[in-house]
Structure 1
Amino acid sequence: MEMNLLRDWPAPTGRARLFFASAQARAAQAQAPEKDVPPSEIQRAALDSSRETSAYMKGNAVRILGLGFKVFDHYDETAFRQACQAHLRRHDVYHTGFFFDENSGDWASRTMHPDDIELSGESVDVAAPGQPGDTFAEMIDVRQPRIPDWDLFSFSALGIEHAGPQADAPEFTVAICMDHLLTDGFSIFMIFEEIMMFYEAFRAGAQSLTDLPEHASHADYARRDMAFCNQLTPDSPQVVEWQRFQALHGGGLPGFSFATGLAERDDFAPGRMTTIPDFLSVEDSDAFEAACKAAGGSLSAGFMAVAGLIDRLVRGSDSFTVCTPRSTRSSPAEHYTMGWFAHPVPLEFSVADTFADTVAAARQANKDVRFMIGVPVYPAQKVVDPTLSSMPPEMTSLSFIDTRLIPTYRDLAAHGFTVIGTRRNAKSVHYWVNRVGHGTNLNFMHPDTPELAAGLPAFADLFRQIIDEVITTGDCNVARDHAYWQAIVDAYEAKPAPQMRAA
């Protein structure tokens, strides 16, 4: 599994078919009844953000979270359209569109019948970057609907000239672009599985596909989410914790350990994705996981602990704070339901002299923060000050995804599975440590500044060196070996960057 910004993803060139909601489907949605489906709290934050008029937010008007993957079969237009429509009709997150009601000063919604959702296709020729014509990213940028439109999705079949009826080794690439309002990182894998299952079934002549896992309703989740957050008071433990956590950062949320080059809160820079696809081999990933467990931690806590040790070396703090996403899915059926079921929670733990003590503290902190799941910062801060927008404050976030635990039945690497997204402007550093089939990769979404151009390779190098020390000796003592580690930090701008692909 790789991660890429859409503009840097090497989309296949040549003949392609792009599918968007048809005019009839958009008309049906515009006339659909209001069924009191609210946005979830994190959806509300995204919706409120769309109404911000700053240059920063205007640049991020389209925030795609999508995927690309290869299909090793002939391209069948009818089967592909049917597969995409079946996916859209199956999940109710696609059935509701939101609009801002000026009379109530709040978001309202219309919910259409799933059978009214249909797609219409457009034939295009995708150009390579720097060549005459439009690239795939440019096509999506122009065509992709944006909030408050309902149809915040597109499905594309690329490179279809290589998957014609006469092709001996047929292959084409699917690109699916969703607004983040409709999906989260976990759902991305579900889209891949469902589109493949539907396509294979319809290619084989099936009229429908009923052998699918039970799924739930995102609308029901949104109602539950709203009801829970509406009963919060200033004395609710979650509100108190968010207030305490924000007070640690001057009313804001955590920043990155290394300098970003953005001095003021309103400063921003173009967004960039930097990836290290082969950060750890399978053998090193397994060895590090074993060391984490031997110290009473876990793999995710181990990566958190390494980040904490780096923060101590750079900033001298004996406490590490970061925001980390947590899933709000609460039933087996919701694990097979499309939607945005995640939000950041505040994490804080003590950073000791050794990795062993720190990873144990990180694991305990991961357990202790579970009571915060279901209460993002946005509704919590509005309990204290109702005049505040639901627009999320900037934060550094650290995410860990173990694709071995995700219920996919196909080899992601074999299908060239890639997570793709957009981020024109950036203020904060978000990083993902992903355990995948071929080891572990490290990915940063960040402002494109000279400071981070120097700092991120050094951060990754230091991250790797601490892991190597843990693998080799079973621990890492930054106090005993302070001079050694501090020399690395002090000289990071002069150190050569590790081999990496900057997307």
Structure 2
Amino acid sequence: MDDFTPRPGRLVEWTAGADAAAMVAAASLDPSPPSYSQKFHIGWHQANMAGGVRPSSWLTAVFDLPGRLDATAMAAALESWVRRHPTLLTWFQLDDGRPQRYAIRPADFSLRPAVLGTFDAGADIRDRLQEQFDSRIDPLTWPPFVVAGIERADSATMLFAVDHTHTDGYSLIQIFREVRDLYEAELAGTSAGLPEVGSYVDYCASEVARASEISSDSSAVGTWLKFAQACGGTPPGFPLDLGLPPGGRAPGVSYTMELFDAAEADAFNAACLRAGARFSGGLLATLGIANQRLAGEDDYRGLMTLHTRTEPRWLVAQGWFTNLVPVQFPVAGHRRFGDLLPKAQLAILRAAKLNDIPFHWIAQILAEKMNLLSDPRSVVPMTSYIDLRRAPASKDFEAARFQVIAGHSEFDEVFIWINRDWHRTTFTAVHPDTTVARQNVHRYAELVRSVLREVAHNGDAPLAQ
């Protein structure tokens, strides 16, 4: 959020206002259980609060719309959008420490615009929005979102902050197309024609039912156990020092670097295809090379995010449709990127077979043997790759200045997102804000970029420098 400085304008929020209390009072108990990600997120939030730290549990989609904003038409579009995604009409309360879901009746839900003031400085708008997001969004409150807009004569900037309990990165990406189309349909008096969509609330119930069929003696649990044992009983972390004392954490900071442009990405992809692999396999092979060069690690081990939108009804649904899977492959004994690449791709394919089983359920099964979730205040480190070109309306992202931003939390590890769009591929890391972590994360990213570009330009790269 610190890097977000919008153009000045009039700040508007769409809110249920005083009606929110009545909506909550009329809400009903929903028997649908939380997903395993939701349950973990609530525990993480509560553990940090108990430790005196209020974490920012929200993620925000930001984009511009052309022309002067019609706030009333936008209110109608937002009401349609929220009703389209039932998870946004739910929240959780703790019953003897266990999260219980409650649901607002869709017919009771409404929004109205409220002007918060005109601001001459973008930094003042940012600070006001961050205060709004941090003070009002958490997994045990309804509504679990704040929607705001910055009005100007020639354009408007829309912001959708949603608690992570009800969204993920790809869900945020889809907000742009859906809200834009619904808003334009309101202005034109037509239908937006959006595809049918399922409910994440239903997904949660099906996930818990599937997980209940997994026993501790299943082959999948055995695979996870071997992986965890190879990692020393804890999740695999960043290979370099982060400048933290044992058990220490620090406020997180984000660092983004452009890895290569569209032409270089295409060339890198072609090199991967020639070796019978894919772009994602090439990325992990490169991380394996970086770990070996900088930290001497002979094997790559990491947790990778994969989406769980395995049915058509989930494809454009709002919710937390991701899972963590274990990826490992040998790096030592290979001479070049092209030799290592098939091993990395095979490791991803093997890991994908475990994607049906929620990571947090696995951690619960293995809790007596392994410490995969040793500190409830911490988040498990992971690596994510998203090809944004597959998202609806992705060719409009650049003109709309679409972006995803997050708030402040404390971390003890590094989280990596590699995103490819129509113009560039970027490396983003969130890490503890220490001098040592900054130096080592930047050094790591620079080496990753160097190897990727060498493959893009030469078709291959050596493992050793």
With the length of structure 1 as denominator, give the TM-score of the two structures: 0.86
Following superposition of structure 1 onto structure 2, how do residues 142-161 of structure 1 map, counting pairs within 5 Å?
143-158=135-150, 160=151
Q: Secondary structure, in 3 states, of the residue corresponding to 1:52?
A: helix
- Structure 2 counterpart of 1:367, which letter? L
Equivalent in 237, 242, 245 of residue 263 of structure 1: 245
| CA separation of 1:267 and 1:304: change in aligned 2, threshold 3 A | same
Q: Secondary structure, in 3 states, of the residue corresponding to 2:392?
A: coil
Contact 1:34 1:109 in 2 (8 A): yes
Rounded to whole Å, the distance in 2 between the matches of 1:394 and 1:25 is: 31
Rounded to whole Å, the distance in 2 between the matches of 1:32 and 1:256 is: 44
Q: Note the alpha carbon deviations across 1:411-461, whole angstroms, 9 max, x for none.
A: 111100011111321211111111111121111111111112212222122
| CA separation of 1:59 and 1:229: change in aligned 2, threshold 3 A | same
Equivalent in 44, 47, 57 of residue 49 of structure 1: 44
Equivalent in 121, 137, 157 of residue 128 of structure 1: 121
User: How many angstroms does 1:147 deviate by?
Assistant: 2.4
User: How many angstroms does 1:93 deviate by?
Assistant: 0.9
Contact 2:65 2:158 in 1 (8 A): yes
- Structure 2 counterpart of 1:339, which letter? G
Q: Secondary structure, in 3 states, of the residue corresponding to 1:288?
A: helix
User: How many angstroms does 1:9 deviate by?
Assistant: 1.0
Equivalent in 446, 457, 461 of residue 472 of structure 1: 457
Q: Note the alpha carbon deviations across 1:43-90, whole angstroms, 9 max, x for none.
A: 111112222156768241x31111110101221011111111111011
Equivalent in 452, 472, 482 of residue 437 of structure 2: 452
- The residue that corresponds to 1:183 in the other structure is 167
User: How many angstroms does 1:467 deviate by?
Assistant: 1.8
Rounded to whole Å, the distance in 1 between the matches of 2:54 and 2:227 is: 29
- The residue that corresponds to 2:24 in the other structure is 29
- Structure 1 counterpart of 2:402, which letter? F
Q: Note the alpha carbon deviations across 1:341-378, whole angstroms, 9 max, x for none.
A: 11221111122321112211111111111221132332
- The residue that corresponds to 1:76 in the other structure is 70
Q: Secondary structure, in 3 states, of the residue corresponding to 1:336?
A: coil
Contact 2:181 2:192 in 1 (8 A): no
- Structure 1 counterpart of 2:416, which letter? Y
Equivalent in 330, 353, 361 of residue 310 of structure 2: 330
Query: Which segment is superposed worse, 68-77 or 10-19?
Result: 10-19
Equivalent in 275, 282, 286 of residue 256 of structure 2: 275
Rounded to whole Å, the distance in 2 between the matches of 1:383 and 1:350 is: 27
- Structure 2 counterpart of 1:430, which letter? F
Q: Secondary structure, in 3 states, of the residue corresponding to 2:315?
A: helix
Contact 2:147 2:161 in 1 (8 A): yes
Rounded to whole Å, the distance in 2 between the matches of 1:392 and 1:226 is: 23
Query: 2:414 matched to 1:429?
Result: yes
Q: Secondary structure, in 3 states, of the residue corresponding to 1:372?
A: coil
Query: 2:386 matched to 1:401?
Result: yes
Equivalent in 184, 196, 204 of residue 188 of structure 2: 204
- Structure 2 counterpart of 1:175, which letter? L
Contact 1:97 1:110 in 2 (8 A): yes
Q: Note the alpha carbon deviations across 1:267-302, whole angstroms, 9 max, x for none.
A: 1111111112x3311111111111111122111111
Contact 2:5 2:123 in 1 (8 A): no
User: How many angstroms does 1:115 deviate by?
Assistant: 2.0
CA RMSD of aligned residues (A): 2.3
Q: Secondary structure, in 3 states, of the residue corresponding to 2:2?
A: helix
Contact 1:325 1:344 in 2 (8 A): yes
- The residue that corresponds to 2:329 in the other structure is 349
- The residue that corresponds to 1:302 in the other structure is 282
User: How many angstroms does 1:197 deviate by?
Assistant: 0.5
- The residue that corresponds to 1:284 in the other structure is 264
Following superposition of structure 1 onto structure 2, how do residues 361-372 of structure 1 map, counting pairs within 5 Å?
361-372=343-354
| CA separation of 1:126 and 1:320: change in aligned 2, threshold 3 A | farther
| CA separation of 1:150 and 1:367: change in aligned 2, threshold 3 A | same
- Structure 2 counterpart of 1:268, which letter? R
- The residue that corresponds to 1:65 in the other structure is 59
- The residue that corresponds to 2:210 in the other structure is 228
**What stretches of structure 2 of length at least 5 have no aligned partner?**
none
Q: Secondary structure, in 3 states, of the residue corresponding to 1:74?
A: coil
- The residue that corresponds to 1:239 in the other structure is 221
Query: Which segment is superposed worse, 239-248 or 305-314?
Result: 239-248
| CA separation of 1:121 and 1:269: change in aligned 2, threshold 3 A | same
Residues matched between the structures, number: 459
Rounded to whole Å, the distance in 2 between the matches of 1:289 and 1:450 is: 35
With the length of structure 2 as denominator, give the TM-score of the two structures: 0.92
Q: Note the alpha carbon deviations across 1:137-195, whole angstroms, 9 max, x for none.
A: 4432454332211211011111x1x23xxxxxx21100110111110111112111110
Contact 2:36 2:208 in 1 (8 A): yes
| CA separation of 1:123 and 1:223: change in aligned 2, threshold 3 A | same
Q: Note the alpha carbon deviations across 1:230-281, whole angstroms, 9 max, x for none.
A: 22221123322332222222221011122211231x21111111112x3311
Q: Note the alpha carbon deviations across 1:86-106, whole angstroms, 9 max, x for none.
A: 11011111122211112xx42
Q: Note the alpha carbon deviations across 1:380-411, whole angstroms, 9 max, x for none.
A: 12224489989486433111111112232651
Contact 2:47 2:377 in 1 (8 A): no
- The residue that corresponds to 2:178 in the other structure is 194
Contact 2:267 2:457 in 1 (8 A): no
Equivalent in 350, 359, 375 of residue 357 of structure 2: 375
